[in-house]
Structure 1
Amino acid sequence: MALPRDPRQKMINIMYLVLTAMLALNVSAEILNAFSIVNNSINTSNKSLADKNNLIYSQFDAQMKDNAEKTAPFRAKAQQVKTLSASMYDYVESLKKTIIDESGGLDEHGEIKDKAGLDAPTRVMENMKKGPELEARLKDLREKLLSFVDPKKRDQFNKTLPLRIEVGKSTDEHGGGTKSWTTYHFNMVPTIAAVTILGKFQNDIKNSESAIIDDLYRQIDANTFKFDKVRPFISLNSKNLMEGQTLTANIAVGAYSTTVNPTIVVNGQSVEAKEGLGTFTAVAAGIGEKTISGTITLPSPTGGAPESYPFTETYNVGASSTSISADKMNVLYIGLQNPISISAAGVPAEQVSASITGGNMTKRGSGEYIVTVSQPGKAVINVVANIDGKTKSLGQKEFRVKRVPDPVLKVGVNKGGSMKAADFKVQGGLRADLEDFEFEGVKYEVVGYRVGISAKGKEYQEGDATSAYFPGSVTASIRALRPGDEVYFENVKVKGPDNVVRSMPSTLFKLN
């Protein structure tokens, strides 16, 4: 007679428990002892790794004393790695303690009482969901550790970092596919095996921590060049100075270190060095070539005798050399924007300034000025410079101030005298052109004149113009001009760029 469904299922469950218990009893003492040996070895390795990592952290501290600016960013990252790793290590340690407590605790010798027990690891890691939590936290730690790696080396560290979270290829006994990470590592394993596995993860944490902080420590000097030769070098603020200017020389050795201050002597004078660099200053005196010489002495890196390196450098001292020139000629013209260029040898253009007496002066660029004047006569340009914080006169120059020259009166392209009647008749008026003048674009305006026409067989005619154009009263007569006729221009008035109206001499055109 068959048993009811529920009692039969209960019987199966009881038999499964009995079988499990029998399997546990069949775990040999030798296997349990082997797990204990491995666990103890892992614990010893973890202590050695902790000591090694602490040594690296102490080296970061030592580097801070010698080169804090370069070391500080890497030390800060290493401290973050230390905190993250220690927190994860302690969490895994707490899981080991929970499993041991759930299995019955430790005996009087400090050994796990029930090393072969299968229930505690399964209950803690699967039923209490500590396994998935551990998996997630280990994955998170791995990503955070990799974030401290140079992106260029990320792929390399991703392949070699000891902390890896992988699921084995074993399948579920019920045919349900690949086992979960928790099931693969902790389901129905002896307590001593679970503790050993957790110890292995602690070892991975320590090894990964070590790999990351080793890389951070190497980066402190990763971009530092290693030199095998040393030579002095000197940098002057200028090799061409004027009397009264200050000579400044920066003196050091090639590949010098900011942590080693050399002994520097220049022209018999000791120079204090700071961060490996010495600065020598002297007032330039006496015109001609001068010499700066001395020695740089460095302590031997091996503790032997100091090594000295001599140096010599020359520079020139000259008298004030100021150049003031008109870009067009040595004359300033009334009514025009006169361009002036000013420079002083050995003095930067931005430290030079200029002023004028008898006019106005505006700076339009480096060493370039515009001068405007209003009265004929003379004007004086004065040049000064800021040298070593003091205002020093560099010189002055006197210029003549003149009006723009008179123009030439023209009809068409003719300046007076003989002109073809046919050419004259097609013109519209009188012009005033400025010829052979250095400034381009300067123009005169004809503001008035009297024109007289003497034509053969006709009465003399006159007309007054109020602009350059021929007045209407004589237009018909101009159109009827023939060879032999004459045209007079008098009382001619013109206005130039200075807005002053000038009187021009009379002119005569004889037509042919």
Structure 2
Amino acid sequence: MAGGKLTPRQKMINLMYLVFIAMLALNMSKEVLSAFGLMDEKFEEVNTGAKKTNEEMLSVLAAKAAENVNFKNALDEANQVKTISNEFYNYLESVKSEISKDFPVDEKTGKMPYEAMDKSTIDEKWFSGDGYSQKGTEIVSKYNKYLSDMKAVLGKNVKLTPIVSEINAKFGTADIKDKEGVSKKFLDYHFKGFPAIATIAKLALAQNDIKKAEADVYSILLGKAAIETMSLKNFKAIVSLDKNVYFQGEPVTGKVVIGKYDENVKVSDFKGPGKVVNGQAILNMTAGSIGEQSFGGSFVFMEDGKPVELPFDGKYVVVPRPNQAIISADKMNVVYRGVPNPISISVPGIASNKVNANAQGMSKVGDGKFMLKPGSGSEVKINVSATMPDGKTMSSAQVFRIKGLPAPTGKVGGLDKNKGPKSNLEVCSVTAAMEDFDFPVTVNVTQFNIKVPGQPTVVVSGNKMDSRARAAIAKASKGDIVIISEIKASFVGIDQVAKRVSPCTYEIQ
């Protein structure tokens, strides 16, 4: 317990816990009972400080979430942990109150009569024969509920896995073997036959463990969200050339900087040719006379109640006439095999009806509009020719990469992460969809595996649960995560093998 890098507060708690265990083996003299009372006082003091610290950490997390959406998920998890922790903490407080009500507080000292608390009525109230009474069963169920509720929240975040192991060790209610190897029930081992003040002190220790777990969760969530916010994956390399057009043989100068577009940035004012949208300025201006042109402006932010101005400037070059065709895919910068890809082709200064293009699998559907359905190979070359106003012909070509269709996303009941009762899952269909893919492609599921915790994997043909799958689902318990994987699918009307379909899950409620 004392290993690793521990705070002074945790070292003190560990030491008190060792003393607590040692005292259980002693004769319960008045001095020992008083020591238990003093330990309870110290636990109460520590718990009071932990409450305040946890509230402060949660306030910081809430403030961060209000400023930055990257902290929102962390705040949601923290609020769930707070609710679960407070419910169990307050319940243990009520149990302590039931025990201490038989021992009035001394008006002079403001403390319970520790030396008189060598007896307890919990043996009669918590136990019945070799088992638990109704009250004992209630207490054990509260321990189990706290543990299962915390696992449900923390289990979704791999960063919080160590805390799950810790609370499982501290709050698990499985039978325990004593030093003689005799198996005893949880409450029997920890509380039966102990003085009232010892039971109160041990419940206070459990409350401290609750607050410590809560603090650990807040600390990890604050750090994780902050790291996510500062992660380089949220930044982009931005190329800024000194001007946008260069003559052949002219040195190309400029710079590459690291920055990010942050929609949470609050711009007080913008001075320049455009407007601010989602943390970035969208420029909108008319090109001037031929040659190099300059433009500039500034962002204005409020900091500590004062305006802070951030100036910018840029250059662009206006050219008199076109010398190259501009080719762009209407929906993306690559073309996909097996589907019709709409292509728009234009040449500045030339009417669209004077522009033609050809490539393998390409057909013209209108002025400047073409449809490309690429076949085999990894690239396709589009050749463009245009008749200029003076009657001369210019030509240009551009190579596009050919990619296969992206992998479909597996879904159960229309969602990749679904949840609900077992009865719903039994009638759900397993489907596959082309998420964020702008082309109309239909996917048919032909086979999948379903894995219910504790049950063997079932291979199902088709897209609906068969009798074996429904039998496995019927054995699932509340909170179980059913995994549907190895989904096999095919595209309708497209002679192309679908890539590996992502798995999906269903949480039993």
> When the two structures are superposed, what TM-score results if normalisation uses the length of structure 1?
0.49
> When the two structures are superposed, what TM-score results if normalisation uses the length of structure 2?
0.49
